[in-house]
Amino acid sequence: MGEAIPQSQRVERGQCNDSRGRVLESIKARTPTLRVSSGSHPPKTPPGMMLAALLIALSYLSFNILWQAYAVPILPLGLAPDTFDDAYVGCSEEMEEKAALLLKEEMAHHILLRESWEAAQKAWEHRRQGLTLPLGFKAQHGIAIMVYTNSSNTLYWELNQAVRMGGGSREHYMRHFPFKALHFYLTRALQLLRSHGGCSREPGEVVFRGVGSLHFEPKRLGDSVRLGQFASSSLDEAVARRFGNATFFSLRTCFGAPIQALSVFPEEREVLIPPHEVFLVTGFSQDGPRSLVTLWSYNQTCSHFNCAFLGGEKRRGCVPGPVVEQPESPSKGDFSLLSQKTLLLAPERFQLSRAGP
């Protein structure tokens, strides 16, 4: 569920530890040492030496602060414009026809994808027994969820890296996005599991998400944001906290799908949130080293891509998703990112108003 730290980052942090050690050894080597003979009174420390010791201590403190900042990066929480966010509206059947061959081609070029898919395929034969699945839910959809939730390898991390950075253009997606079939199957699985397509009157499912390696901070309350990746969360707050506390999210989601019955780790009570769901920032605070973020779903999605594999180019505005009845909270007003409006928080409600002239 939480963000895995790839081996490359662990090595970099190890190198930083080594550098830190070398700096400290250098400081020790340059620190003057006073020798006191037995039976004599210790000499008074010269003022210049006291100043040098103070400067050394301050240098160490500054280095330690810089090290902590390096260890836990701070990232802005926004609309994630570079995310590949295709929801395949109106083309899911055609994509189903093409995805099987596409998956074979991608597995031929990605060993971990092939191994993970084949292992999940075998496990699915046992897992599917006794499950009541929605109409149209295929084996590939269930296998995709099992592949994603298998955190014993780094494939889920690689997928999310590709999702976060793969939305610059359709050309970039076609040339460099290595998980086109997996992205489609996983996105479609969440849509089918959340068959009612959002919230009706309730403000959304309450879930929690813990991140151990990054600090996420919104610019201000009332901002509209997307998580910009497939975001694991849990119905159980204690479970979410086990995955990290650098940033801890409390969310109400309308498009996150409960995948506990299909997950490799059902005890995590996971709800998987798609990259394109739009949230309102209703709370942000810092508790010591932790960032605490509260998000409420707008009951809307925002996708700049639609059917990209079939030729759809990236749009400046959002591709409209299925129309659903607006929940009573947090908003009774219409919401559209196409209108270029800024969301301003008001007590218990928010209103839409234009930004700038």
Reduced to 3 states (helix: H, G, I; strand: E, B; else coil), residue 210 is: strand
What's the CA gap between 137 and 30, in Å, rounded? 68
82-354: CATH topology: Toxin ADP-ribosyltransferase; Chain A, domain 1 (3.90.176)
Q: Six-digit token pair at 220?
A: 């201000």
Looking at residue 307, its pLDDT comes to 98
Looking at residue 24, its pLDDT comes to 39
170, 188, 194, 209: which is the annotated catalytic residue? 209
Q: Which of 97-126 are b and which e, b meaning 16 or more Cβ less than 10 Å from the residue's Cβ? A: eebeeebeebbeebeebeebbebbeebbee
Look at phi and psi of residue 297 and say left if phi exceeds 0, alpha if psi is from -120 to 50, else beta: beta
- Is 209 one of the annotated active-site residues of the chain? yes
226, 270, 277, 297: which is the annotated catalytic residue? 270
- Is 349 one of the annotated active-site residues of the chain? no
Residue-wise DSSP of 28-65: HHHS------TTSPPPPPPHHHHHHHHHHHHHHHHHHH
- Is 128 one of the annotated active-site residues of the chain? no
Reduced to 3 states (helix: H, G, I; strand: E, B; else coil), residue 248 is: strand
Looking at residue 53, its pLDDT comes to 65
Looking at residue 328, its pLDDT comes to 44
What's the CA gap between 36 and 148, in Å, rounded? 65
pTM score, two decimals? Answer: 0.73
Q: Are 302 and 176 in contact (CB under 8 A)?
A: no
What's the CA gap between 3 and 164, in Å, rounded? 13
Looking at residue 149, its pLDDT comes to 96
Segments making up each domain of the chain, as ranges:
82-354
For the chain, 357 residues long, give each residue's pLDDT as a single digit of tens. Answer: 644 434 333 333 333 334 334 433 443 444 444 444 445 555 555 666 666 666 666 665 555 554 444 556 788 999 999 999 999 999 999 999 999 999 999 999 999 999 999 999 999 999 999 899 999 999 999 999 999 999 899 999 999 999 999 999 999 999 999 999 999 999 999 999 998 778 987 789 999 999 998 899 999 999 999 999 999 999 999 999 999 999 999 999 999 999 999 999 999 999 999 999 999 999 999 988 899 999 999 999 999 999 999 999 999 999 876 544 444 444 433 333 333 222 323 323 323 222 232
Q: Are 210 and 62 in contact (CB under 8 A)?
A: no
